[in-house]
Amino acid sequence: METRTIGSLTVSLVGVGCNNFGGRIDADATQAVVDAALDAGVTLFDTADIYGGTQSEVLLGQALGSRRDKAVIATKFGGPVAEGKGGAKPDYVKEACEASLRRLGTDRIDLYQIHFPDDSTPIEDTLAAMSALVDEGKVREIGCSNFDSSRLDAAAGAPASNTFRSVQNQLSLLDRRQEADTIAACERHGLGILPYFPLASGMLTGKYRRDAEPPAGTRLAGLPAERREKALSDRTFDTVEKLEAFATAHGHTLLELAMSWLAGLPQMASVIAGATRPDQVRDNAAAVGWRLTDDERAEIDALTRR
Ligand code: NAP
């Protein structure tokens, strides 16, 4: 497995997004996914305090068990965990970190990320609190999520002994809206990118087909009708089918195209694909080997332009 760096951290190019843990999948299924990930050379696990109603962190910590040192644990704070618990005020950052450490059953968080901007708290204050956690040894590196370039610029200019090393924003072949803005800011400030929804919740795996019911038990099958119809729209299938034909013509799968295209973007740190089953993790871990040429990338640009 190829590795990249986020500040002082070495992370696998394919990571596991853990938002299914404790929600759509239970402790046994989480264990199977984590075991398969470690076996495939995946080291980065991205979770958040709010995932699975706080159970994602618990199940991840349990599943890693004595192998904790083999893993790079990324988690997040700031989303609403309970009534009055959320945001990015300094006292809360400290409290949230302690709660995540407890749930994960570890003495340090490798990458601690602010989940969403909090406009009621100056970024300088949040950064100072996060930075103090690094100085105390509770956190190794800090990052942010859902930050656009103007917020990343503001954070980079704030005085703090430690600064953001990564940003986690939505990015996939089906959603390129933030691509240019995120990459440009990450190049300016030396940040790594963690793309979320990299497989567009499974749309970029080839398992959903136009005019067919979504397979039972899948994420999109479980969505409320309105959201499901939006995700499975004809317009989306127009793009998915073009991308799949392009991948097939080059001797690859749609999944390999989706993962390898992301892996080849500037500043990409790790493609944190979610998974509910061990075979998915194995397939994802093996899907970043296609080195796309500039010409191929230009063709893909044409296929995904809207
Ligand atoms: P995703 O990676 O785009 O899609 C994950 C889903 O795709 C899985 O649940 C699985 O669906 C399906 N899948 C994955 N690999 C597959 C394979 N090889 N074959 C067939 N199906 C496959 O979406 P995501 O998990 O929501 O996003 C990734 C991570 O980003 C999250 O886990 C989370 O850590 C992070 N995230 C962050 C934010 C943020 O605001 N920072 C927001 C969203 C997500 P089934 O469930 O149908 O099996």
Q: Is the CB of 256 under 6 A from ligand 1?
A: no
- Angle separating helix axes 294-304 and 234-249, nearest 10 degrees: 160
- At residue 306, the pLDDT reads 64
Per-residue HEC secondary structure of the chain comes to CCEEEECCEEEECEEEECCCECCCECHHHHHHHHHHHHHCCCCEEECCCCHHHHHHHHHHHHHHHHHHHHCEEEEEECCCCECCECCCCHHHHHHHHHHHHHHHCCCCEEEEEECCCCCCCCHHHHHHHHHHHHHCCCEEEEEEECCCHHHHHHHHCCCCCCCEEEEEEECECCECCCHHHHHHHHHHHCCEEEEECCCHHHHHHCCCCCCCCCCCCCCHHHCCHHHHHHHCCHHHHHHHHHHHHHHHHCCCCHHHHHHHHHHCCCCECCEEEECCCHHHHHHHHCCCCCCCCHHHHHHHHHHHCC
Which residue puts its alpha carbon closest to atom 8 of ligand 1? 275
Mutate to test the pocket of ligand 1, among 196, 227, 268 (most ligand atoms within 8 A of CB): 196
- At residue 92, the pLDDT reads 98
Question: Residues in the chain with pLDDT < 70?
Answer: 306
Residue 218 burial (CB count, 10 A):
17
- At residue 102, the pLDDT reads 98
* Model pLDDT for residues 219-259, shown as the tens digit of each residue: 999 999 999 999 999 999 999 999 999 999 999 999 999 99
* Model pLDDT for residues 7-44, shown as the tens digit of each residue: 999 999 999 999 999 999 999 999 999 999 999 999 99
Ligand 1 centroid distance, CA of 18 (Å): 8
Which residue puts its alpha carbon closest to atom 10 of ligand 1? 275
Q: Is the CB of 199 under 6 A from ligand 1?
A: yes
> For residue 79, what are the contacts with CB-CB under 8 A and spacing of at least 6?
48, 49, 50, 86, 115, 116
Which residue puts its alpha carbon closest to atom 16 of ligand 1? 280
Which residue puts its alpha carbon closest to atom 30 of ligand 1? 196
Catalytic residues: 51
